[in-house]
Amino acid sequence: MLTQDKQQRNWKPIIKQFEAVLGKNGVVQRREELITYECDGLTSYRQRPAVVVLPRTTEQVAQVVKICDRYSIPFIARGSGTGLSGGALPIEDCVLIVTSLMRQILSVDLENQRVVVQPGVINNWVTQTVCGAGFYYAPDPSSQIICSIGGNVAENSGGVHCLKYGVTTNHVLGLKIVTPDGSIVDIGGQIPEMPGYDLTGIFVGSEGTLGIATEITLRILKSAESICVLLADFTTVEAAAESVSDIISAGIIPGGMEMMDNISINAVEDVVATNCYPRDATAILLVEIDGLEVEVTANKQRVAEICLKNGARNITSASDLETRLKLWKGRKAAFAAAGNLSPDYYVQDGVIPRTQLPYVLQEIEALSQKFGYQIANVFHAGDGNLHPLILFDNSVEGALEKVEEVGGEILKLCVRVGGSISGEHGIGADKKCYMPDMFSEIDLETMQWVRQVFNPQGLANPGKIFPTPRTCGEAASASKQQFEGVERF
């Protein structure tokens, strides 16, 4: 019935209202122009939105959302569209609110180490803006030269440096948000800890289901005096994994600590030819150490000793910028290089306790054998955030479904050892069916209650995160029941 309603929707007067708010240039409705917006980084799912709007201010976002609320039109916010879990995937007959014209850095306060940005600002711009004064913005997803801060907030994005410095939520002090009824609400503030409920914490990572952030106050950090990158190569995965555990156990927290397996090493050497990664290594570790010069020198020594004790064959290190970038180049190109190994690949994102690394890598190898797909492993080893790349050929009938099954098995494995079905890519449309593997019914119910508080009509990014969105009837009756006969003090 709902579909019928939607098919009958008369968009003309609605688009007129959008144009009144945004001007004609702020509304995209031609079929060929809408193609760009059919999917985000999860390209296997596609759906054309009915209309795309391009607001420039908080007030415009609020007015657009009010129109959606009035006509009960589902709306979905989108930043740069680089997300890997389909968090910005349109649904049929929706409005896509794209923040790419909201690209102003609104204020920079170096003394108090904070920057206020609009959501369309590119992640890397924040660091570019403040690096001259010796500061940087820590969360650094692989897509940082193109992804937007708004998208990072929605997905609670991570990156190589999140081992030491934490993910996006640790760097967002406050938000101005437009709630799904079009109200403008300020949550959090300009200082790290605020009284009352931590609404900022619940909003970051909520994948657009609680509203749209239109101003974001970020914490910036002082750049380290000295940085050094070590590359250690190993003949067994266990030795590399043991080194990771030992480094952390020694109380060293590297800026980043990444592992790549033999398949990945050869893939990147084929493509970008760093000539630094030994092609016969079973695994390499890249360890970045930052801090005071004296501290970096001492920790470099300690990390090298730990790796050698665990059987590393060689250790190379670099402190100058050029060589450091060269050592990182292969890691940064790993996903792209995987595209050279097979026609398609499927990247998974799961988390495990660090101590389970050797066991989980064995099990992934067993899955690879069982299903007959090569799996390359590239991951944030320090925080146990795996990114197995399953290599396949999508032109083979049924291959995608089989690969998704392998991906699902890997996620269940992560949950079984006490980990998580997502480290930094979010749940989106892609992983919602795995939420019950991780959360009990009552846990999910509790999250749904929170969603309904902000988003009672269910218009903000429907069909994401939760496996079985309640129907509106259930929601309304559950709520009524909940508040029935209530006595308050």
In one-letter notation, the amino acid at residue 410 is I
Q: Which of 95, 115, 126, 199 binds its own copies (CB under 8 A)?
A: 199
CB contact at 8 A, 330 and 277: yes
CB contact at 8 A, 259 and 377: yes
Q: Which of 179, 262, 274, 317 binds its own copies (CB under 8 A)?
A: 179
CB of 234 or CB of 466, closer to its own copies: 466
| Residue 223, number of CB atoms within 10 A of its CB | 14
CB of 155 or CB of 258, closer to its own copies: 155
CB contact at 8 A, 373 and 403: yes
Site for its own copies contains 365 (CB under 8 A): no
Site for its own copies contains 72 (CB under 8 A): yes
Site for its own copies contains 139 (CB under 8 A): no
Binding to its own copies by CB under 8 A, coded x per residue (else -) over 235-264, reads ----------x--xxxx-------------
In one-letter notation, the amino acid at residue 427 is I
Site for its own copies contains 305 (CB under 8 A): no
How far apart CA 181 and CA 384 sit, in angstroms, is 39
Q: Which of 311, 339, 358, 456 binds its own copies (CB under 8 A)?
A: 456
CB of 123 or CB of 274, closer to its own copies: 123
How far apart CA 373 and CA 399 sit, in angstroms, is 10
Q: How many residues are recorded in the chain?
A: 489
CB contact at 8 A, 461 and 208: yes
Task: Choose the stretch contacting its own copies; rule: CB under 8 A; options: 280-288, 310-318, 393-401, 433-441.
Answer: 433-441
Site for its own copies contains 131 (CB under 8 A): no
Site for its own copies contains 43 (CB under 8 A): no
CB of 76 or CB of 327, closer to its own copies: 76
SS3 of residue 198 by DSSP = coil
Q: What is the DSSP string of 347-381?
A: E--EE--GGGHHHHHHHHHHHHHHHT--EEEEEET
Site for its own copies contains 91 (CB under 8 A): yes
Q: Which of 90, 151, 159, 463 binds its own copies (CB under 8 A)?
A: 463
Site for its own copies contains 389 (CB under 8 A): no
How far apart CA 393 and CA 176 sit, in angstroms, is 44
By CB under 8 A, what part of segment 93-112 binds its own copies?
Answer: 111-112
CB of 93 or CB of 233, closer to its own copies: 93
Backbone angles phi, psi at 177, to 5 degrees: -125, 155
